[in-house]
Structure 1
């Protein structure tokens, strides 16, 4: 179904909030304050969006994103959270690499790279959004997926991390667990959906995953119940990251054996290592107020800023290295040697 159709149908009846917004790129850097706090550089490259208090450490108690940030790359003016995923590379036939840029989604044309973020109380196609959820609390953080996953069974532990080969900018199906195996005319969309049940106590956990859970049975989409160990229902966060592959879409550039040429910045060529990180940073109770409102995408309680303002917010690069934005490089930053 096309996005424009979704918005039109949403006007049929009142609903609790589903919000969808764009976020421009804050920085592309080898930092990961969740998995590798304080380590500069981190093992692999990330593209980060959100509040400009992002740094290598971000200690959970001391680092109040909403108070320390002075701007955000996200459309909601009160959202100083940080969201990040790995960077993506194209490997040429001669074994050199170039970073694949991100682009704005439908409705956010003109934003500087970044991604689209959703907070949902029910599935995307449910225009009523009647389920009540508790907003994340200050200090909350989590990740989903594993860069170590290299097989489909390993990737299936995280059931909602997928790829969509965009035939046009409104394509949403089918979704696959691995990288698309053919050129995608409008780009490759990476879908990162987070678990929706919380233990109600811990804002984080040693693996950054154990304090959250998928439903006990069923799925978030069919309103499966939360397990007793994680009884608090939280919004589902969805990232849609669109990588602009048009520069790399001619078959003559792809490997002669017909295999796909894209590589995550941690050297995964399968796509099964798809993962994403989240650190909550909404100001005061602004997120809960939005979630309690009867609205779909356009919510009166959500203060917004323009794409121009989003694009102005950035932070300096910490790790000074050639990441292959304008030229091909011999190896992916942080990876020990070129893949042969």
Structure 2
């Protein structure tokens, strides 16, 4: 059974080849809040739009954006590897009903193996050949929340949506929001670049210090000379529980789709993700060197070099919301009166 879960997980990456290995695990929801202390809006409370955050509980509005080792400040993690205090986050998704009101959509545990997780997302570290693990202080983003046209999305690879008709659906990825009800939910797939300049832990735009390989990552494409260091591919799968909103009578009368990101994007082209490395010591490098090809779930798929906790234990690591605002009821506007643009 667990082996079949791993096979289905591999199917999420197109054109996969035999040399790929995947460390796959669950990170339960840590908090939903308008905070972005490390990257785009350090020191700003609240941040301009709502985020859903997973990982170590060191995520905090008072966090020094120059803090290099999150494992020194976090006391627990929502991820099943207990040595991973990284933070992973995305914008929050909302449903806009026919009457113009908004309801935040919850995340749910990945139905392929992590259904008992309290929301959050599935995280992958994928390697193709030898890779260098990230260093303390490393951080990056991918995607652009200002994008509203499909032509803009060619700047980034593999930022997609999967309309889950079953828990095993892994085909039909799109770059925009699904336009029909999805029986199991909407899975948002965010894959980060896999080449690093080898020097900078960050850059002013949080993206220039990393780059994509030539060709594709799956085919083993070479890193550019400007970014010669091959790093693991960080990959998020976030399953949004859109099932309660599948009643088409609630959808827009014009036949359009009803989903909108917390930063006001109804197209879906502005999807983006944030990552701050926080593994303890050399734990991630050990896992990569050991070719861990595991979902860290069940007795027959183990990564012996890593310590792990159960999903029940991971669910218990939580943060109190800092920004006191209603993000769970039916709202007349998105949080902070964020304008919605098609």
1:18 deviation in Å? 1.9
Q: 1:41 to 1:8 in 2, by over 3 A?
A: closer
1:3 deviation in Å? 8.0
Name the structure 2 match of 1:176. Answer: 174
Give 3-state SS (helix, strand or coil) of 2:184's partner.
coil
1:230 correspondence with 2:227? yes
CA-to-partner distance for each residue in 1:234-280, whole Å, 9 max, x for gaps? 00010000001111001111111110000000010000000000000
Moved more, 80-89 or 166-175: 166-175
Q: 1:337 to 1:159 in 2, by over 3 A?
A: closer
1:159-174 alignment, distance < 5 Å: 159-174=157-172
CA distance in 2, matches of 1:246, 1:62: 39
CA distance in 2, matches of 1:52, 1:277: 16
Quote the RMSD (CA, aligned, Å). Answer: 2.0
1:181-330 alignment, distance < 5 Å: 181-215=179-213, 217-297=214-294, 298-323=302-327, 325=328, 327-330=329-332
1:199 deviation in Å? 0.1
Match of 1:96 among 96, 101, 110: 101
Give 3-state SS (helix, strand or coil) of 1:156's partner.
helix
Structure 1 unaligned blocks of 5 or more: 123-130
- Answer yes or no: is the 8 Å Cα contact 1:188–1:244 preserved in 2: yes
CA distance in 2, matches of 1:8, 1:211: 32
Match of 2:80 among 75, 78, 93: 75
1:154 deviation in Å? 1.1
Q: 1:51 to 1:188 in 2, by over 3 A?
A: same
CA distance in 1, matches of 2:281, 2:36: 25
- Answer yes or no: is the 8 Å Cα contact 1:199–1:212 preserved in 2: yes
CA distance in 1, matches of 2:331, 2:308: 39
- Answer yes or no: is the 8 Å Cα contact 1:52–1:72 preserved in 2: yes
Give 3-state SS (helix, strand or coil) of 1:299's partner.
coil
Give 3-state SS (helix, strand or coil) of 1:175's partner.
coil
Q: How many residues align?
A: 325
1:339 deviation in Å? 7.2
Structure 2 unaligned blocks of 5 or more: 11-17, 295-301
Name the structure 2 match of 1:56. Answer: 61
- Answer yes or no: is the 8 Å Cα contact 2:49–2:338 preserved in 1: no
Q: 1:178 to 1:336 in 2, by over 3 A?
A: closer
Give 3-state SS (helix, strand or coil) of 1:241's partner.
strand
Give 3-state SS (helix, strand or coil) of 2:335's partner.
coil
